Amino acid sequence: MSEFPTVRPRRLRGTAAMRRMVAETRLHPADLILPAFVREGVAEPVPVGSMPGVVQHSRDSIRKAAVEAAEAGLSGIMLFGVPEEGKKDAVGTPGTDPDGILQVALRDVRAEVGDALVVMSDLCLDEVTDHGHCGVLDAAGNVDNDATLERYAEMAVVQASAGAHMLGPSGMMDGQVGHVRAALDAAGFQDVGLMAYTVKYASAFYGPFREAVNSSLVGDRRTYQQDAPNAREALRELELDVAEGADIVLVKPGLPYLDVLRGIADASPVPVAAYQISGEYAMVEAAAERGWVDRERAIEETLTAFKRAGADLILTYWATEFAGRLRSGT
């Protein structure tokens, strides 16, 4: 007589209610942050071709998107400004102009939602420079780390003045968190937080984002963003950013770096965010359009992977949509 198993893990998988009861990882709308693009000089939203469902917002539509995000229960919205092409220059002047599109959008969104969302802003030069790099270039065409820090400090004060609750220094300059923190404190913005892009790899998955911000990039960013084979240096970056005053640390991209995310989550004394970037989004949308994957299940599975790997917060272009599904129980 053959022996049958007495230990049967399948007992806990038999029904949806049973699976829900024993789920080890749970997603909540407040785990999610919506990245959103605001384009100067447009009256209507402009679709981003490589990111189906994502748009470059007008000033009116970003207000509506922020209200929808708040009503869906999201914790925050991260704004990226897209200036008119002729306004970009070598030092990213629109980034420190109080009337630059990002600062205008910050004021618009704060006026619309107040403190119902954590209103965040990208603190980087890549969207506002004519060369598309995240910093100021020296005479040889290389990104000058310390000259860039001075620009970041100026940008931080302008963004805080426009109403941002939290800034996202994303350029991967050495010392950026400490330099920005000192500038904010000196200007009286001690309560403005920093979500440090602590781990940001030079990735092939940023392509659609560059369309979304009308990037002018010439060359690549390998001299300042991290190299894909390296994980240990991410922990070094974590130690530095926390010491410099980071309130939240972020890992970007997401899915290709879940091992790094897990390591950061295990070591971090502050909350950890993961950014599900444009290329990750575009792959699922493209495959779903062709019927190759179940779109809704793929979205849920990828977001669950971030949470399971240790992310407290997830930046995703599906944030409002998925929060609605969570709230409706679907």
- Please pick, among 64, 88, 252, 307, the residue that the annotation labels catalytic: 252
Mention every residue, 6+ apart, whose C-beta is less than 8 A from residue 260: 199, 231, 234, 251
Q: Is 105 left (phi over 0), alpha (psi -120 to 50) or beta?
A: alpha
Which residues, in sequence order, are CB contacts of 330 under 8 Å at separation 6+?
Answer: none
Q: Does residue 87 carry a catalytic annotation?
A: no
List the catalytic residue out of 64, 87, 88, 200.
200
Spatial distance between the Cα atoms of 130 and 82, rounded to a whole number of angstroms: 12
Residues 6+ apart with CB under 8 A from 177: 169, 194, 196, 240, 241, 244, 245, 246
Token digits for 104?
């205008």
Whether omega before 94 lies within 30 degrees of 0, making that bond cis, reads no
DSSP readout, 45-69? -EE-TTSTT-EEE-HHHHHHHHHHH
Token pair belonging to 100: 């630059």
Is residue 307 annotated as part of the catalytic site, yes or no?
Answer: no
Containing 235, the helix (H) or strand (E) segment is helix 232-244
Round to whole Å and give the CA distance between 247 and 192: 10
Question: What is the set of active-site residues?
Answer: 200, 252
